[in-house]
């Protein structure tokens, strides 16, 4: 097994960032020829080029990009190790990185659950970060996160486990005086008849809506596309159109903004929220503590735990 030394990895990271081997060598405190020799030896060991060299500088090859991603994850892991060891020395238990989508953070009692955890486990520092589902899964694979709460369906990547956590329902959100607001449910085809307001930050939801519209032979008709859900709600409240949001993002604002959320009466509009992580035996103690807390009393990977097909020994389709 080839194990690159940290000096060479620092040179590679600096070269990728600066686009110059000369500047990378200077940053790392060595002459260019010595830095180049280290990289050449590493390329020889792997049997592939890591940097593409040209008259305007250097840039990573696909193999170089892969090594850089792992090197950054390893650097981050060492930094966290240092922080956790210092926390242990000071009487704490370390930290855990939790990433979640906007709808998971806004609703479903996550904030309250984290407050209870903070009180019960005051020695554990929880670092919460908002990301989209696909980014969260990638960050879990690369070691940039310990736990993730996602809304995407389907099998999780190899090496991860998905635990059922909550459910939510997608709502057609409109002004309270809209003709559809009094309905108990509404079909998506009816929603598509209305001018829509879309939020760019809800990337996975946008893709889902476009996919369901295509199944009906239609396309969403957006009047406005805005960056975030707050602007989206404001435009709906002003009467510019309808938006589709998870109930946890919509319900808390109905009274204040004069909105009404009507459930989309189709099976795909009820989504499963899942808590995703590496297998419990590969988690740090703080991460296991938070995983068990968020899952409640039945904490073990029982029948509800979903593993990737490869982990279960079944090939992917």
DSSP string, 59-122: EE-HHHHHHHHHHHHHHHHHHHHHHHHHHHHTT--EEEEEEE-HHHHHSTTHHHHHHHHHHH-T
Start-end ranges of CATH 3.40.190.10 in the chain? 167-270
Residues with Cβ < 8 Å from 316, sequence gap 6 or more? 155, 309, 310
CA distances 156 to 36, 89, 149, 209, 287, Å, are 40, 36, 12, 21, 19
pTM for the predicted model, two decimal places: 0.62
Q: Is 232 within 8 Å of 199 (Cβ atoms)? A: yes
Architecture of domain 167-270: 3-Layer(aba) Sandwich (3.40)
Residues of the chain with pLDDT below 50 are: 298-303, 309-317
To which residue do tokens 């020799």 refer? 37
Q: What is the pLDDT of residue 1?
A: 61
Interhelix angle 133-141/203-215, rounded to 10 degrees, is 120
| pLDDT tens column, 286-303 | 888 899 999 985 333 444
Start-end ranges of CATH 1.10.10.10 in the chain? 6-70
Q: What is the pLDDT of residue 84?
A: 61
Q: What is the pLDDT of residue 100?
A: 92
Q: What is the pLDDT of residue 132?
A: 84
Architecture of domain 6-70: Orthogonal Bundle (1.10)
Q: What is the pLDDT of residue 28?
A: 86
Q: What is the pLDDT of residue 276?
A: 93
């Amino acid at each position: 097994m080839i194990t690159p030394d940290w000096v060479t990895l620092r040179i590679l990271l600096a070269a990728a960032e600066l686009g110059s081997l000369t500047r990378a060598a200077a940053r790392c405190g060595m002459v260019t020829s010595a830095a180049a020799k280290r990289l050449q030896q590493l390329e020889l060991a792997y049997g592939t080029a890591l940097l593409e060299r040209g008259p305007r500088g250097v840039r990573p090859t696909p193999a170089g990009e892969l090594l850089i991603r792992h090197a950054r994850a390893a650097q981050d892991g060492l930094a966290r190790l240092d922080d956790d060891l210092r926390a242990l020395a000071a009487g704490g238990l370390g930290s855990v990185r939790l990433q979640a989508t906007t709808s998971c953070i806004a609703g479903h009692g996550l904030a309250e659950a984290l407050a209870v955890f903070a009180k019960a486990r005051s020695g554990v520092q929880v670092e919460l970060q908002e990301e989209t589902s696909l980014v969260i899964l990638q960050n879990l694979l690369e070691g940039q996160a310990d736990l993730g709460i996602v809304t995407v369906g389907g099998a999780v990547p190899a090496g991860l486990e998905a635990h059922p956590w909550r459910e939510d329902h997608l709502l057609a959100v409109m002004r309270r005086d809209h003709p559809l607001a009094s309905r108990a449910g509404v079909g998506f085809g009816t929603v598509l008849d209305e001018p829509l307001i879309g939020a760019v930050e809800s990337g996975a939801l946008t893709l889902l809506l476009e996919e369901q519209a295509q199944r009906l032979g239609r396309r969403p008709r957006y009047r406005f596309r805005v960056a975030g859900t707050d602007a989206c709600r404001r435009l709906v409240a002003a009467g510019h159109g309808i938006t589709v949001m998870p109930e946890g993002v919509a319900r808390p604002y109905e009274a204040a903004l004069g909105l009404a959320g009507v459930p989309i009466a189709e099976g795909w509009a009820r989504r499963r929220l899942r808590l995703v992580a590496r297998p419990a035996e590969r988690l740090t103690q703080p991460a296991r503590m938070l995983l068990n807390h968020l899952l409640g009393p039945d904490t073990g990977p029982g029948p509800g735990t979903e593993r990737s097909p490869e982990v279960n020994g079944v090939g992917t389709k």
